[in-house]
Structure formats: structure tokens, C-alpha cells
Structure 1
Amino acid sequence: MQKNARVEYDYSVAKAFTFTAILFGILGMIVGVTLAFQMAFPHLSNLAGEYGTFSRLRPLHTNTVIFGFTLSGIFAGWYYMAQRILKVSLRESPFLMFIGKLHFLLYFITIILAVVTLVAGYTTSKEYAELEWPIDIIIVLWWVLWGVGIFGLIGIRRERTLYVSIWYFIATFMGIAMLYLFNNMEIPTALYSGYGSWMHSVSMYSGTNDALVQWWYGHNAVAFVFTVPIIALIYYFLPKESGQNVYSYKLSILAFWGLMFVYLWAGGHHLIYST
């Protein structure tokens, strides 16, 4: 393609994630409303036996909204924005197109498995990290695939300058990779004790250490899913839709590194129910 030729962007992967965000957004909110009614009318927990209890629906709600709805929107945003910001199309790299579609497929399978296992009662009992170890392995696979897609597109970009949104996406990838791996270190119960379920697992940490690692992760599940990538979306769509340039690039640098150095290490407050 010539240097000044018009780039034909491919939004197929972005659209797939967008439809998934809509689907799991609706499902997650329905479960959330159901839980709200159960808190007001506790007898509603008995409508579907063990499968409709608050204790099973609550993690289903949080995981569907956080990882089914929000993360789908973030991935959709990446596959839409990155091509435009970096001035390169997924069509130009069959390899990266394959990676993107495989990323979506494994991700969608993960969400379906999450719904089935959580309703069935399989859980690590660690908030925002309830999914058991076989699903964790699949999550690591598609997270690595997303990383390959991120750095692959950056590597073949035409636009030399990395817009601030790209920084936030890179931080999201690296931050969650570190957090998820460390917090989900677990051993299948049958392997650890010689009996019990192979699906169930026990944490490699114990006592206070387990609590500290869990809320280092839990706090940053909010930071690096609900905050950092959302800021990436805002930095692109807000100037685009308003027609106003970013006021200060220096402030964006201050905000980025302030968030990275402070937010990342502030998880302990969850353990003392304080700010």
C-alpha cells in the first residue's frame, strides 16, 4: 500500500465484541435486578432451588458485568480505535486478523464456561477471581493473544507517535497480566490433598498473605478494567465527538504515571473497609 493511500479498516472483530458486550450487558443487568429483588424479598432465593440462591447469582452478576460486558466493550474499543490511531488495518496482516478472531472465540467460550460453572457452584470464593483453574488457563491464553495483537499492530503502524490511549491499553494488558497470574496461583484440591474434586482448587497463599494478594488484585480489577482502559476510550472518543483537542499533553503524562504509581498499590483499604 502506498504511504498516502486511504487505509481500509476492518471492524469485524470490533463488531463481534460489541454484540457480545450488548448480550452480556443485558444478561448481567437482569441478574443484578434479580439480586436486588432477592435482597428486598428473601423468599425469591428459593425459586430455582440451589441454582437461584443469592450466593450463586451474585458472582454470576459481577463476572458477567465486569468480564462479559465491560471487557467486551474494552476489546471492541481497542480493535476499533487502534487501527485508526496507528493508521493500519487488520486486513494488512492475516496473522493479526487470525489472532484477533481467535482472541474473540476463546474469550466467548470463557464467558459461557464462567456462567455454567458459577451457576453449578464451582468457585474459588475469591471476589472477582471466582473462576476455577481450568478456566484461568484459557483466560491466560486469550490475554496473551490480545498482547500479541496489541504489540503486533504497534509494530506495523504507520503513525510513528503513540497516542496516549495506546499507553493506557498497554498498561491494561501488563497490569492485569501481572495481577491475574499472581492472585490465581492455585492447586487442584485432588492434587494437593489426594482426594476431592479436580475442578476445585486451593490457593497457594494462606491466611493474611492470601487476603493481601487477593485485594491487591481485587482493587486493581477495578483499576485496570473499570478505569485505565476506559480512560483510553475517553481520550479517543471525547475529543473526536466534541471536536476539541486534548487540553494538555503534559497533564496526560502526569495523570498516567500518577495512576500507575499510586492506584496500583492501594488495595489494602479493602481489608479495613476504609478509603
Structure 2
Amino acid sequence: MQNGAQIEYDYSIAKAFTFATILFGIIGMLVGVILAFQMAFPQLNDLAGEYGTFSRLRPLHTNGVAFGFTMSGIFAGWYYISQRVLKVSLKESPFLMFIGKLHFLLFFITILLAVVTLLAGITTSKEYAELEWPIDILITVWWVLWGVGIFGLIGIRRERTLYISIWYFIASFLAVAMLHLFNSMEVPTALYSGYGEWYHSVSMYSGSNDALVQWWYGHNAVGFVFTVPIIALIYYFLPKESGQNVYSYKLSILAFWGLMFVYLWAGGHHLIYATVPDWMQTMGSVMSVVLILPSWGSAINMLLTMKGEWQQLQSNTLIKFMILASTFYM
């Protein structure tokens, strides 16, 4: 292995995901603009036949921005940050390099398949989980590959202390793996009964149970895709860009564990006055209020990292965005 002071980091996979972030961001947000015009001018729904209707474009927009754009950025951040804070290069492990490249390839194929199937109206109709079971299996494969990459790189690291960003990436991997597996348990109708298209499926759950699992997934997919890994990115790039140490490492750990224990229980607030047990609705509401503590803990920690250096906001665009994100997180 190379000496820690002479490590040559490999950013090829990070660059690939960065380009994917830009591509899917442009496409996803462009579709969002089209949807906005359709809401203002409903006659625009007819311009491209069935493929241009609001019902086809809306899931394309949400999946494109949520998973194509945001997740590409998260993976780009991981393949950049992990090498630097763990003091190890992907070049040192041909196996992990191969895993990373395969991860990107399968991820990119998944997004392309999502575009085709959603435009064709092939969907489970479950929000944020519209993709049918063959694509769900593909998602599972590259998510496991990411996990192999995470724990493989941790296993060969030189830096024995795990920086807080790594904790958040690990949490994102574990939580989304659990959420995706349980919410995507579906019965392929053609294989089970001989009816319907080969790709069609129905949920393994029914009625209120299906709603409970769906919004346990839907709520926490937002938390562990949009929130947790983004915190990981800010905890690395804000101190790095500003030249300041994280205000309180202890506070970052406390906020992390608070978020882990509370966030998963708050999904019930999506089902207020629905046909689910009252105690679940109450628990979801209470935990949503309790979430103020870990959320504010992280946000305040990020803001106080800039203590005495606020003038950097005048000249550094990256810091402006991270401070804005931290403020909105409150």
C-alpha cells in the first residue's frame, strides 16, 4: 500500500457520477418546467399524445430529480469524500474499482429504463416507488454493490477514526436497503396467475397495510436519500472550503444518533385521518416534533462552523449554498 502522504486518489467514478448529476438534473428539471406549464395551461397535455400527459411526466420528473439527479450527486460525493477521509485510493484495490464502475453502469442503465417505462405508463402507482419489479431487482443489485464499496473501502482504510460523514453514508445505505426491500415486495401477476404482462405486479400488502409500508418507505426515502447523505456532504465540504474545524464533533455525533432513532418513526404523519391505527398517527406526529432536536443540532453545528468567518459568504458561492441548505434544514 502507498504511503499516506503520497496517495494518488482516483476520481474517475466520482467524475462519471458528476456528469450524470448534471445530465439528469437538466432533464428532470426541464420536465418539471413542462409540468408547471401544463398546470397553468391544461391544453398542453395534448401536445405529445399519451406520452406528454401530466400523469406520465409527473413520475418521470420526481424520479428523475430524486433518484437520477440527487442520488448521482450523492454517489459522486461518496467516491470523492471517502477516499480522502479514509486515506485510501480506489487505485489500491482493483476489485473495489471494478465494483465502483459496475455500480455506475447499472445505476445509469436503471435511470434509462425508468425513463422508458414511466413514459410508457408502466408503473406500480406507488409514489417514489413507481418502477416495476425487474427494475427493483436491478436497483437492489447496484445498491448492494455500493454497500460492498463502502465497507470494502472502510476495511482497507489507513485513517482509523471514521469521520462523521462516513457515519451518515453508512446510515443512508443501511436504511434505504431496508426500505427498498420491504416496500418493493411485489407479486408478478404473469408468473403467479398467468395473466397480464410479464413485467406487471401487485403489492404483497393490501389496504391499510400497503399504505403503512408505502409511507414508511416514502417518508424515510426522503430522509435517507435527500437528508442524511446531504448532511454527510456538508460536513466534509463546509470545513474544507471554509478552512474551519467542525464547531462540535460531539454535537455532530449526538445529532446523528438522534436522527437515527427518531426519523424512522415519523412516517405516520403522511397518513393523518387515514384508516390506520390512531396510535400510529399520533406517534408519527409526535416524532415529527421531536425531530426538531437532531435537525437543529446538525443545522446549528454547521452554522457555528462559520463562527468568525461569515465574511466568506460574500465571496464563496459554495459556502453560500451550504449555509442556505443548513438554514432551510432548520
What range describes the TM-score normalised by the shorter chain of this pair? over 0.9
Pairwise mapping of residues 141-156 of structure 1 onto structure 2 (< 5 A)?
141-156=141-156
Pairwise mapping of residues 1-275 of structure 1 onto structure 2 (< 5 A)?
1-272=1-272
Q: What is the letter of the counterpart of residue 188 of structure 2? A: P
Deviations 1:193-252 (A, max 9, x none): 331111111000000000000000000110001000000000000011111111111111
Q: Distance in 1 between matches of 2:169 and 2:218?
A: 19
Q: Distance in 2 between matches of 1:121 and 1:73?
A: 27
Deviations 1:232-274 (A, max 9, x none): 0000000111111111111111110111111111111112288
Q: Distance in 2 between matches of 1:57 and 1:103?
A: 27
CA RMSD, 1 decimal:
1.1
Q: What is the letter of the counterpart of residue 174 of structure 1? A: L
Return closer, same or farther for 1:267/1:152 CA change in 2, 3 Å cut-off. same
Q: What is the letter of the counterpart of residue 203 of structure 1? A: S
Displacement of 1:4 in angstroms is: 4.3
Q: Distance in 2 between matches of 1:29 and 1:2?
A: 43
Q: Distance in 1 between matches of 2:94 and 2:232?
A: 26
Q: What is the letter of the counterpart of residue 140 of structure 1? A: T
The secondary structure found in structure 2 opposite 1:131 is: coil
The secondary structure found in structure 1 opposite 2:83 is: helix
Q: Distance in 2 between matches of 1:272 and 1:192?
A: 34
What is the number of residues matched between the two proteins? 275
Return closer, same or farther for 1:41/1:4 CA change in 2, 3 Å cut-off. closer
- Segments of 5+ residues of structure 2 without an aligned counterpart are 274-284, 289-330
Return closer, same or farther for 1:4/1:124 CA change in 2, 3 Å cut-off. closer
Q: Distance in 2 between matches of 1:171 and 1:114?
A: 25
Q: Distance in 1 between matches of 2:22 and 2:231?
A: 20
* 2:239 and 2:246 in contact (8 A); partners too: yes
- Segments of 5+ residues of structure 1 without an aligned counterpart are none
Q: Distance in 1 between matches of 2:130 and 2:2?
A: 49
TM-score for both structures, normalised by structure 2: 0.82
* 2:17 and 2:72 in contact (8 A); partners too: yes
Displacement of 1:2 in angstroms is: 4.8
Deviations 1:21-68 (A, max 9, x none): 000000000000000000000010011111011001000000000110
Displacement of 1:192 in angstroms is: 3.4
Q: Distance in 2 between matches of 1:36 and 1:186?
A: 33
The secondary structure found in structure 1 opposite 2:177 is: helix
Return closer, same or farther for 1:2/1:51 CA change in 2, 3 Å cut-off. closer
* 2:11 and 2:79 in contact (8 A); partners too: yes
Q: Distance in 2 between matches of 1:209 and 1:86?
A: 42
The secondary structure found in structure 2 opposite 1:160 is: coil
Of stretches 94-103 and 193-202 in structure 1, the one that deviates more from structure 2 is 193-202
Of stretches 254-263 and 98-107 in structure 1, the one that deviates more from structure 2 is 254-263
Higher relative contact order (CA 8 A, sep 6+): 1
**What stretches of structure 1 move > 4 A for 4+ residues in a row?**
none
